[in-house]
């Protein structure tokens, strides 16, 4: 079941936008609060890995220089469709008490993590090790046949299992019963939940640029440890 909610006021997603039309295969990496509008460029020094693959195997990826609010990434030469991914380097972040509830509202990390955060001693300081992942499908027209594209070994990622259906994986294992977000170009962010196989279907009527987003948070094993926050997106240029 999906619930439609307005765009989160504080949501800043890391995502890839595929190139449009004919010509060399390129994607751009950006951060934005209103998908698919790019707002903040990701600089090359923040990139840990960049990969791309077709159904026949990996293809070359070349990271360019920042252009405005985007980081261009050239792919190939390769015949579309291509699935590309970018992993950012991890960052340690501390959130003060007055920001914690906003962060918990922004990211659907699950009840166990939310309970652990709520139980922090007051005044709370949320210590996080954060890492972001983004994937996109570059397609000549409609994005079909993506199920032939295997997982790319990201810590948290979506993979297509059929047209319009995706599985959420964490460390290669399905994440069942987990909340995810489907964002569309009209500003809507629909909340959906993965099934027992970690799968979700795009809601009926979704068309145009679309982003899947999910996040997980693992509580620390020691009192002075950091929560592990992992955030991932998968974008489709057209459907």
Q: Residue 45, SS3?
A: helix
The domain ranges of the chain are 3-236
181-238 pLDDT tens trace:
999 999 899 999 999 999 999 998 888 899 999 999 999 999 889 999 999 999 997 6
170-179 pLDDT tens trace:
999 999 999 9
pLDDT-above-70 percentage for the chain: 91
Select from 238, 213, 227, 229 the least CA-distant residue to 11.
213
For residues 108-129, average pLDDT: 95
> Which residues 6+ apart lie within 8 Å of 37 measured at CB?
none
Average pLDDT, the chain: 90
Residue 214, number of CB atoms within 10 A of its CB: 28
Give the pLDDT of residue 76.
87
4 to 81, 129, 181, 189, 191: CA distances (angstroms) = 30, 30, 10, 6, 6
Question: Which residue has better confidence, 236 or 47?
Answer: 47
Q: In which residue are the tokens 């972040």 written?
A: 93
Q: Which of 1-5, 36-40, 113-117 has the lowest mean pLDDT?
A: 1-5
Helices of type H across 120-238: none
Select from 169, 144, 173, 145 the least CA-distant residue to 158.
169
Read off φ and ψ for residue 4, nearest 5 degrees. Answer: -90, 125
> Which residues 6+ apart lie within 8 Å of 86 measured at CB?
16, 29, 42, 47, 49, 50, 51, 73, 133, 134
The model's pTM: 0.92
pLDDT above 70: residue 239: no
pLDDT above 60: residue 105: yes
């Amino acid at each position: 079941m999906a619930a439609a909610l307005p765009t989160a006021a504080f949501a800043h997603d890391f995502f890839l936008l595929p190139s449009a039309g004919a010509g060399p295969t390129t994607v751009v990496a950006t951060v934005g609060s209103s998908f698919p509008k790019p707002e903040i460029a990701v600089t090359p020094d923040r990139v840990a890995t960049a990969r791309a693959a077709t159904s026949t195997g990996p293809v070359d990826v070349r990271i360019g220089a920042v252009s405005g609010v985007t980081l261009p990434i050239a792919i190939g030469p390769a015949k579309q469709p291509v699935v590309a991914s970018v992993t950012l380097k991890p960052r340690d972040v501390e959130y003060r008490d007055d920001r914690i509830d906003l962060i918990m509202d922004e990211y659907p990390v699950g009840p166990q993590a939310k309970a652990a955060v709520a139980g922090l001693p007051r005044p709370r300081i949320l210590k996080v090790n954060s890492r972001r992942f983004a994937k996109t499908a570059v397609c000549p027209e409609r994005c079909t046949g993506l199920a032939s594209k295997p997982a790319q070994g990201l810590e948290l990622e979506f993979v297509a299992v059929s047209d319009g259906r995706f599985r959420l994986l964490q460390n290669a294992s399905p994440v069942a019963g987990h909340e995810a977000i489907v964002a569309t170009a009209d500003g809507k962010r629909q909340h959906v939940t993965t099934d027992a196989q970690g799968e979700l279907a795009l809601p009926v009527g979704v068309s145009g640029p679309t982003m899947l987003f999910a996040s997980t948070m693992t509580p620390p094993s020691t009192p002075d440890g950091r929560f592990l926050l992992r955030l991932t997106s998968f974008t489709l240029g057209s459907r």
